[in-house]
Structure 1
Amino acid sequence: MNLSEKKQNNIFIILICLIASTIIFREFSTGLIILFALFNVFFFKKTHFKKRDIVFILIIASPFLLDILFFWNNDSFFLGLKSAEKRFSLILFPIILVGHYKKINLKMLLKCYVLITTILLTILFCRYIILNTNDFLKYANGIDLWEIGYHFANSFGTHAPALNMHVSFAALAALYMLFKDSKHYYFLLYLILFFFVLYINTRIAIVNCIVCSLLILVLEFFKKKKQLKEIFKGILVLGVALFICLSLFTLAFPRVIEKFTTDSFSNMDKIGRIDELEKPETKHGSLVMRLSIWKASLELAKENLWIGYGASDSKRELVNYFEKTNQKHLAKWKFPVHNQYIDFLLKFGIFGSIVVIVFVLFIGYLGLKLESSIIICFFIIFFVSNLTDDFLIRYDGIIFSGLWASIFANQLKFKLIEKN
């Protein structure tokens, strides 16, 4: 392939940006990943690794390597293969991105990522209003607000918590670019994306977005050696903007306040006993449900602590345990673990929990070594999100973490090269 180095790198960045921005469209994103892999085959000779790079690759690929190492522990060859195939990108991305001969332009990538994500979400929201006018008006009138974000996400075939993890990072990337590029339109993009975070309305993403927004502001001001007075002014301006957004949103959708308070912590005396509720389908809080699942998962994990139950069989074993302990509601809906750290404990035993913790902490390590507020925030988002969900069993969570972790590792690789 006769491409100049400049054209090659432009295509390289465009493909990465498109993959990152279209994770919510699984089939389209998969096609882009295949195209990206084929494109890089032509330039594999330029790929180079040092011992340190191999370590980076192995850490990012570690969840996939667990699938291979514990493949024998699956009852079904096909289901075991399917589980490993789902996480294959965790070795593909670091080989290509960490091994890339050139430092990826992170600022350009984030700029394109924020713009494309904002445009896509705006189009999808307009489409949603047109095709689901009655539902949109119903929510606008405060009816059935518990389903608002899930209904929007379902309208284009994705899962609300996964979508909001992606959107909250895009919002933070817009705020980060405001400091790096000094273009005021990034603040507008941030507010638009923050609106979508609120509309999709998953608690963890909203809290993560607010906390990390303030963190970016403080870290970037300190990096620029601003006086405490200026930092305080910045926090005040951002705080006022967030307060106005939250106030307007809660005025339009008052049910949100109840969701974050009463609903979240209701029926905490029913942990492991959700079936005792009159209507368990609608009357339990999300926390009591998760705590019930975690309790059952840990009880089951203790019975096979060293090797787990296999990547393809752990959910079946968990559902069987729900039935065995007479937790009919959990068995009926066949809930997954909703905690990635416990999920890998159930799948692969103690070694699985260690691997997933190292995988997530590695992203935090990259943020600290690079002194990058956006990478530190990515770590916080992914670490906290996996406390209440299991994103390394989902396509969008796997691609989201593997792609960005590999990009960040590429940044550290070249920082260390420049030092030497």
Structure 2
Amino acid sequence: MINRLLLLKNYDKFSLLVLLLSAFPILPYVFRSILLITLAVLTIIHVFKTSDNTGNFNKTLLITILPFLILMLSLSYTEDINKGIQRLIQMMAFFVLPFVFYFNRHLITLKLIDWSLNIFAVSVVALVLYQCVYCLYFNEIIFSEPSQLELKNLNLLNSNNLNENAINQIKLRRFRKFVTEITDTHTTYQGIWIIFTIAVLFKNILKRKSAVLKSLSVFFSIILITWLFIISARGPLIGLILASIASFILYKKGQINLKIITGLLISLILVFSLGYKAIPGFKLKVDEVLNTKLELPTSGNDIYNFNSTNVRYGIYYCSIEVIKKNVFLGVGIGDLQKELNSCFHNTIGAKVYFWRDFNTHNQFLFFFASAGILGVISFIFSIFASIYFAITWKDSLFLFFILSVLIVFLTENVLSRSDGVIFYSFFNSLMLFKTAFKINDSN
């Protein structure tokens, strides 16, 4: 009887903290940190007070946290230890959340998972609606013609290159900067939150019986997809398309035929085409990728010729150069940015790389350059372990989550910021360790 009361008491604390953390898209960074620390402390107390029988789950936990442990080992040969420690602290949720959910897996219930997903979805919808209202109120500032200062900063003040595309480019940068500043969240992270919210809403459409809830889910899904195109989050959009196809096939396993696949592909292509035609900013981003040659940004005065695509070419070029010189161990997590900057400044020399630091913009390159071949292999293995479990358990939502994030990993260091590392570690751990009581959800 006493043990049951203790379990109930621990469940109440744990579930409350988890549900509060589920709203992290709208929580201040300091509040997120307090919740993480509290969960970690309570988990440590729980581990010391109970003789937890870990069983076969030990391997899963080790696979999940191994990439972080290897990054920690890289501190032993990095020169800038302070920088390395700072980076590891920023990524701490990558270790803490798997630890928390694993040792509290006996408290994870379907109800808790469902509430966590819905609280997260409501938070993301609220964040998007807030931005929509804010942007409508300040629309004259956001969409006004380029100022003299903006033209001067891009060397376009007396240029013949001031055409419609150049003007749209300035407006898009201004808009993305504006929404990033009012939310303190980069559009890419908003993008991955949005596509997972769309998946959660779609799940509600399939499972809920209430016509009102179904209608609201459809309505907010349309708003989220529209906003996704407006902020021109290309990586998340690609993730939405590819992960949707894969998770749909898993969901309808045994019922898929060529007609269904063709219909799904046509629907996705039509949505993509509509966004391309109707939203100038998204069209601009797509055209940028199609028109930019595989050339690095120049080191001359024609700084207006840089764009996010050729800047990324330079980033990937330097990341690979760093890896080629340090294949086995990497340069250490504390020295990575210094090595990248050295290549940016001394090898490429384009002015854009002097304005701020650029990371590898690829999570796999980050682990490879920081911790060598062991670092990247452990990271890849942890991802494919989650994919394996999602397919084995026929959990289409888990599969959608891991595949969509995997695609964004190819173009962003998702785990380098609180917005990304909490998102990935929270939901990956929650859905991975929910099977302690064999809580599998085929939807």
User: How far apart in 2 are the matches of 1:173 and 1:277?
Assistant: 48
Confirm whether residue 134 of structure 1 aligns to residue 136 of structure 2. no
Alignment correspondent of 2:239: 208
Q: Which 5+ residue runs of structure 1 have no aligned equivalent?
A: none
> Quick one: which of 217, 229, 234 aligns to 1:186?
217
1:4-153 alignment runs, 5 A limit:
5=7, 8-23=10-25, 25-40=28-43, 43-44=46-47, 45=49, 48-100=52-104, 101-105=106-110, 106-130=113-137, 132-138=138-144, 143=168, 144-147=170-173, 148-153=175-180
Whole-Å separation in 2 of the counterparts to 1:34 and 1:312: 24
Deviation at 1:269, TM superposition (A): 4.0
1:266 equivalent in structure 2:
291
- Describe the shift of the 1:345–1:211 C-alpha distance in structure 2 as closer, same or farther (beyond 3 A): closer
Q: Indicate the larger mover: 33-42 or 378-387.
A: 33-42
Q: 1:138 to 1:62 in 2, by over 3 A?
A: farther
Given candidates 263, 283, 296, the residue that maps to 1:257 is 283
Letter matched to residue 267 of structure 2: G
Matches for 1:141-290 after TM superposition, within 5 Å: 143=168, 144-147=170-173, 148-183=175-210, 184=214, 185-220=216-251, 222=252, 231=260, 235=264, 239=267, 243=270, 247=274, 250=276, 253-260=279-286, 262-271=287-296, 274-275=297-298, 279-280=302-303, 282-290=304-312
Q: Is the 8 A contact 2:82 2:334 kept in 1?
A: no
In 2: Cα distance, 1:194 partner to 1:18 partner:
26
Check whether the contact 1:177–1:186 (CA below 8 A) recurs between aligned residues.
yes
Q: Deviations over 1:30-51 (max 9, x none)?
A: 2332333345456444683424
TM-aligned CA deviation for residue 263 of structure 1: 0.7
Distance 1:403 1:309 in 2: 29
Q: Could you say what the CA RMSD is over the residues aligned between the two structures, in angstroms? A: 3.3
Once the two structures are superposed, what CA deviation does each residue of 1:186-211 show, in whole Å capped at 9, x if it has no partner? 22232232223223221111222233
| SS in structure 2 of the partner of residue 275 of structure 1 | coil
Of residues 371, 382, 385 in structure 1, which corresponds to 2:394?
371
**Aligned equivalent of 2:317, options 271, 295, 310:** 295
Match of 2:372 in 1: 349
Deviations 1:382-420 (A, max 9, x none): 111111111122222221121112112212333299xxx
Residues in 2 aligned to 1:180 and 1:233: alpha-carbon distance in whole angstroms: 25
> Could you tell me how far apart the structure 1 residues matched to 2:259 and 2:375 are?
45
- Where in structure 2 are there 5+ consecutive unaligned residues? 146-163
**Matched residues in 1 for 2:15 and 2:219: separation?**
24
Query: Residues 287 and 51 from structure 1, CA distance in 2 versus in 1: closer, same or farther, beyond 3 angstroms?
Result: farther
- Asked if the contact 1:175/1:186 (under 8 Å) is kept, the reply is yes
Change beyond 3 A, Cα 1:5–1:234: farther
SS in 1 for 2:183: coil
Pairwise CA distance, 1:88: 2.3
Deviation at 1:28, TM superposition (A): 2.8
Deviation at residue 65 of structure 1 after TM alignment: 0.6
| Other structure's SS at 2:107 match | coil
**In structure 1, distance between residues paired with 2:325 and 2:261:** 52
Q: Is the 2:25–2:127 Cα contact (8 Å) retained in structure 1?
A: no
For residues 256 and 327 of structure 2, what CA distance do their matches in structure 1 show? Answer: 52
Question: Which residue, out of 400, 404, 409, partners 2:432?
Answer: 409
Aligned partner of residue 315 in structure 1, secondary structure: helix
- Give 1:336's aligned residue: 359
Matched to 1:36, the amino acid is: L
Identical pairs, percent:
19
Assess, with a 3 A threshold, how the Cα gap between structure 1 residues 133 and 36 changes in structure 2: closer, same or farther. farther
Distance in 1, Cα, partners of 2:308 & 2:359: 14
Question: What aligned pairs does 1:387-402 form with structure 2 within 5 A after superposition?
Answer: 387-402=410-425
Say whether the 8 Å CA contact 1:149–1:202 is kept in structure 2: no
Displacement after TM superposition at 1:73 (Å): 1.6
Matched, 1:323 2:345: yes
> SS of 1:358's equivalent?
helix
Q: Any conservation in 2 of the 1:57–1:94 contact (CA below 8 Å)?
A: yes
TM-score (ref. length: structure 1): 0.84
**Change in CA separation of 1:351 and 1:21 when aligned onto 2, cut-off 3 Å:** same
Q: Which runs of 4+ in 1 moved over 6 A?
A: none
Once the two structures are overlaid, the 10-residue window that deviates more, 306-315 or 249-258, is: 249-258
Q: Confirm or deny: 8 A CA contact 1:57 1:91 kept in the other structure.
A: no
- Cα deviation, residue 278, structure 1: 5.9
Are the structure 2 counterparts of residues 278 and 82 from structure 1 closer, same or farther at C-alpha, using a change threshold of 3 Å? closer
